[in-house]
Amino acid sequence: MQSSINIFVNRKFSFEFFFTILIIFGIPLNLYKNRFYDNSWTVGEWLISYAGGFVRRGLPGELIHFISKNFSISPILLIWFLSTFALLSLALLLLYFCKNSFDKYFLLSQLIILAPISEDYFVRKDTLIVLLYGLSLLVLKFLYRRNINKITSIFFINFFSIIAILSHESYGIWGLPSLIFIIYLFERSKKKNPIKSLFLALSYLIPALISFLLCWIFRGDIDQSLKIHQSWQSLSHLIPSLGSLKELEPSGAIAAIGYESSRVYSSSLISKFNLSIFWHPGMWLLTIFLAMRFFIGPYKNLNQESKRIVLCFQLIAFLPMFLFVDIGRWIFMWLSSSALLFSFLENIFGVNVIIQTSLKLKGSRILSKIIPGFSSIKNYNMFLLFFGLPHCCWSVGRFLVSNPVGFSIKNLIFYFKVLFV
């Protein structure tokens, strides 16, 4: 038994095949579970619209409502299409950007592409937002290689960023800072002084920054969430529901638009334990620590230092997001965006430049001791096989279901019931 496990964890192609199969079979499972209006935190997130006026996160829902109303297409089918398209496009972009920087099976794993599928947030906007970030980096790559001019590149970066921000305002917190920094580096490479370079970087992204500001001003209220709910009730003949659509008030993501405060960690959540043993904040810190080690990789090489500094840079941008629930989702977006950012910087500026920049920071050597990589490929693969990334509210159950072994069992049970029950 032990020898068979050793053979398995040392064969990379086995992991690639295994994760690919889980992705292929996990997508229908997710779509089946999220086929009703009543799935208020997944389907419901896509259905936030401008029915009650401009409000944060409303752009996708407004477009879905327009198409559904005018072409009599079920909003659920449109959400399924957008979710699938976003994930597959993100997978292709990650594999294109990161093929020389990361092992393919890491990109396919439950930390990156498999993450939304194994933890049932595939039918959410997360993959779309990371995809739009990656497309912005792709435009910057074309600009650097002079495949497009500056005006065209600035237009598309703002275009992708505005769509992302109007889909979920968190993009403005974690996505815009690195884009501004990259544009700043481009301007500095032309021997412009730092202040002028920063001013130009900010001025180029004024449309995206204004969109971000508007989302914080027009956060939404109870009246708007009610009008959004009523707008979908007018299309009830197109929307399957188990009863929530007939309710007088909305629930889930639509209702959250009317909340006076966001779902942040309270003192009760900070002191929460699972099974009276596992302290939630402590388990999330351990999860983040292990996720960073997986990102850094199994070998001691030059890339480890540069990966570590890029990952920590992006972590600073994500720190405000970790104050909210659904920490596992933020970890997925942090790791996937960091993989795209590292691969971009490595391709454009080179690993040595990143290392030289990191060495100027006094804490870089301390970080290398605090967050080491895995000592061997065997240990790396073994930990990866049994590592789970819960999307929300850490628990042993969610940890077991979200790791590759647990999720494969979940798939077997689902398809057995579909075929034989």
| pLDDT tens-digit series, residues 107-160 | 999 999 999 999 999 999 999 999 999 999 999 999 998 899 999 999 999 999
The yes-or-no verdict on residue 232 having pLDDT over 80 is yes
- State the CB neighbour count (10 A cutoff) for residue 402: 23
The yes-or-no verdict on residue 265 having pLDDT over 60 is no
Do the beta carbons of residue 323 and residue 264 sit within 8 Å? yes
d(CA 276, CA 395): 11
Q: How far apart are the first and last CA of the chain?
A: 32
Q: Among 7-11, 316-320, 350-354, which range has the highest average pLDDT?
A: 316-320
If one compares 274 and 412, the residue with the highest pLDDT of the two is: 412
**pTM, to two decimals:** 0.93
Each residue's pLDDT tens digit, 24-52: 999 999 999 999 999 999 999 999 999 99
Distance, CA of 254 to chain centre: 20
If one compares 88 and 376, the residue with the highest pLDDT of the two is: 88
Domain boundaries, the chain: 273-421
pLDDT of residue 1: 47
The yes-or-no verdict on residue 352 having pLDDT over 90 is no
What average pLDDT does range 83-100 have in this prediction? 95
Closest CA to 239 of 20, 85, 34, 22: 34
Each residue's pLDDT tens digit, 354-412: 655 555 555 555 566 677 778 788 889 999 999 999 998 888 999 999 999 999 999 99
User: Which residues in 316-346 are b (16+ Cβ under 10 Å) and which e?
Assistant: ebbeebbeebbbbbbbbbbbbbbbbbbbbbb
What average pLDDT does range 211-225 have in this prediction? 95
pLDDT of residue 322: 85
